[in-house]
Structure 1
Amino acid sequence: MSYQSVFKADLFQGQTFIVTGGGSGIGRCTAHELAALGAKVALVGRKSEKVETVKAEILEDGGIASAHVCDIREEEPVKATVKAIIAEHGGLNGLVNNAGGQFPSPLAGINQKGWETVVRTNLTGGFLMAREAYNQALSKTGGSIVNIVADMWGGMPGMGHSGAARAGMVNFTQTAAVEWAAAGVRVNAVAPGWIASSGMDNYPEHMRQWIRSLGDNVPLKRMGTESEISAAICFLLSPGAAFINGDCLRIDGGASQGGRVWPFPKARNNEPFNGFHRAVTPKVLSED
């Protein structure tokens, strides 16, 4: 089997894209779709085992990929990693700023170290990667950057550190879109809602039942798939999005649209899209 993308097979033929956090979840799925569309994919992550595994998957499927270990929160390693990727692949056409992470906690229980760690991961790291992609390559050739954020409109209770960082990344997206447009660089963001992805298995036991109920709070009455996020990312990277710049696309089944006082009846005529041939259902959703 191969990735069943909705886009034409040679859409990104010969182009190079960096995908941070490419060793799991949405990043892994996006890397596979980009490779299936002809792109050379540079997987960036903190753990060698994860990015090497995804690299092997892509190579097995007939794609082109490289694996790079880097802590995106550290300036010098980011500079060196982007430089190495450009040298290895002969250029750079775009960046998917997907790496991120957080832990559940009310604001009153977050210490300074925890706050700063999440902000550095979800905001500072994305800035460093985007800046280096722009300075080292895209400012000369043009290209596209897609920043992955989250559904933080109306606050993000229980994860206020991540909500603040993601909101900052949306504002960074808007600013970069203006400053870098003259060089032919478009900068957009994608805000996934509740997506059935491997990250769900990282949360503590007491959150399992809550995670399983998330789909009931979506007007479409289900969670999204990794493929539904990847498709949006690929569109924003594509020539079809040539006049989309500084925007943030919410992919959440309508959950962020103020429906909290509106009852959600049983949904119909709504089938999930899942083109990822290697997709794995999170354990928290597959276990009884």
Structure 2
Amino acid sequence: MGYRSLFAPGCFKDRTIIVTGGGSGIGRCTAHELASLGAHVVLLGRKREKLDAVAREITEDGGACSLEALDIRDEEAVKAAVARIVAARGVIHGLVNNAGGQFPSPLAAISKKGFDAVVATNLTGGFLMAREVFLQSMSNHGGAIVNMLADAWGGMPGMGHSGAARMGMLNLTQTAAVEWASTGTRVNAVAPGWVVSSGMDSYKDEGVKALIPLLKKEVPLQRLATESEVSAAIVFLLTDAAAFITGEVIKIDGGASCNTKIYPLEETSASKPYEGFHRAQAPKILGGEGKE
């Protein structure tokens, strides 16, 4: 059994697409879907052992991939990695700027070091990746970039550092979409809400862990997203079918960003999740087996 994508088989044949944060969560899922559709996926992340594990999965499933282990906050490392990819593959057709990370904290308790670290990962690192992919390939050949935001509309209490960075990425997406349009480069973004992903097991704070099973009650569709529902939006924005879409954001939050907190939400099980990822593993916090 392979990835159950809804997109046409082979639609990314002979294309090279980088996925940052490809060693786990949404990045792992997206890399699998792209590889199942014929892309050569370049997995990029800090921990080589995680990238190796995903690369083995993709190869076992019949896909093609390579990997680059680096910290996207390191400008020189990013420049060198993109240069190696261009030397090996010739053209970079797509970039999924997925890598990110944060920790729960009220603003008053966040140190400058902590704030800088989250902004560097969620904003600056994504900028460096996009800039180098553009300068070293897409400025000459065009391509598609999909950046990662989050449901931070109207603020992100408890994660203000991440919210600030994600909204910065929104403006970066819109700016790049205009500045790079003449080269045939499209730049869009996705903004997931709460996603059933291995990342949920990374939170150690007991208060946060207690909240996770309750999150669905704040979502109009009364459930959380699957990784494959986020991947499907990313993949669509990379396809030729999205050739006239740039500077846009697709919200994947079950209507949570529309919730006024005043309108009473009804309990429902009417919304059925799309389960495309054949290797998906629910986090332990939600009763799954998790993934190391």
Q: Is the 8 A contact 2:220 2:259 kept in 1?
A: no
**What is residue 37 of structure 1 aligned with on the other side?**
37
**What is residue 228 of structure 1 aligned with on the other side?**
229
**What is residue 24 of structure 2 aligned with on the other side?**
24
Aligned mates of 2:85, 2:187 — CA distance in 1: 20
Q: Is the 8 A contact 2:122 2:165 kept in 1?
A: yes
Displacement of 1:268: 4.1
Determine whether 1:272 maps to 2:290: no
**What is residue 91 of structure 2 aligned with on the other side?**
91
**What is residue 210 of structure 2 aligned with on the other side?**
209
**What is residue 177 of structure 1 aligned with on the other side?**
177
The equivalences for 1:117-196 within 5 A come to: 117-196=117-196
Aligned mates of 2:226, 2:5 — CA distance in 1: 13
Q: Is the 8 A contact 2:96 2:147 kept in 1?
A: yes
For 1:131-159, what per-residue CA distance to the aligned partner results, in whole angstroms no more than 9, with x for missing partners? 00000001111100000111111100011
Determine whether 1:247 maps to 2:245: no
Aligned mates of 1:236, 1:206 — CA distance in 2: 36
Structure 1 vs Structure 2 CA RMSD: 1.1
Q: How many pairs are equivalent? A: 288
**What is residue 108 of structure 1 aligned with on the other side?**
108
Matched residue type, 1:191:
A
Displacement of 1:287: 6.2
For 1:72-113, what per-residue CA distance to the aligned partner results, in whole angstroms no more than 9, with x for missing partners? 001100000111112222321010000000001100001110
Runs of 4+ in structure 1 deviating by more than 4 angstroms, as ranges, are none
Displacement of 1:21: 0.2
For 1:251-282, what per-residue CA distance to the aligned partner results, in whole angstroms no more than 9, with x for missing partners? 00000013311111122432100100000001
Displacement of 1:67: 1.3
Aligned mates of 2:232, 2:284 — CA distance in 1: 24
With 86-95 and 61-70 compared, the bigger mean Cα shift is at 86-95
Determine whether 1:66 maps to 2:77: no
**What is residue 9 of structure 1 aligned with on the other side?**
9
Query: Secondary structure of 1:266's match?
Result: coil
Query: Secondary structure of 2:102's match?
Result: coil
Matched residue type, 1:41:
V
Matched residue type, 1:63:
G
Over 3 Å counting, the alpha-carbon distance change for 1:272 and 1:287 in structure 2 is: closer
Q: Is the 8 A contact 2:282 2:288 kept in 1?
A: no
Aligned mates of 1:126, 1:168 — CA distance in 2: 11
Matched residue type, 2:19:
V
Matched residue type, 2:189:
A
Matched residue type, 1:156:
M
Aligned mates of 2:163, 2:99 — CA distance in 1: 15
Query: Secondary structure of 2:225's match?
Result: coil
Matched residue type, 2:236:
F
Aligned mates of 2:98, 2:74 — CA distance in 1: 16
Aligned mates of 1:224, 1:93 — CA distance in 2: 27
Aligned mates of 2:12, 2:238 — CA distance in 1: 9
Query: Secondary structure of 1:213's match?
Result: helix
In structure 1, stretches of 5+ residues that fail to align are: none
Using the size of structure 2 for normalisation, the TM-score is 0.97
Matched residue type, 2:243:
A
Aligned mates of 1:229, 1:249 — CA distance in 2: 9
Using the size of structure 1 for normalisation, the TM-score is 0.98
Matched residue type, 2:102:
Q
Aligned mates of 1:8, 1:126 — CA distance in 2: 29
For 1:26-49, what per-residue CA distance to the aligned partner results, in whole angstroms no more than 9, with x for missing partners? 000000000000000000000000
For 1:208-231, what per-residue CA distance to the aligned partner results, in whole angstroms no more than 9, with x for missing partners? 220111111100000000000000
Matched residue type, 1:138:
M
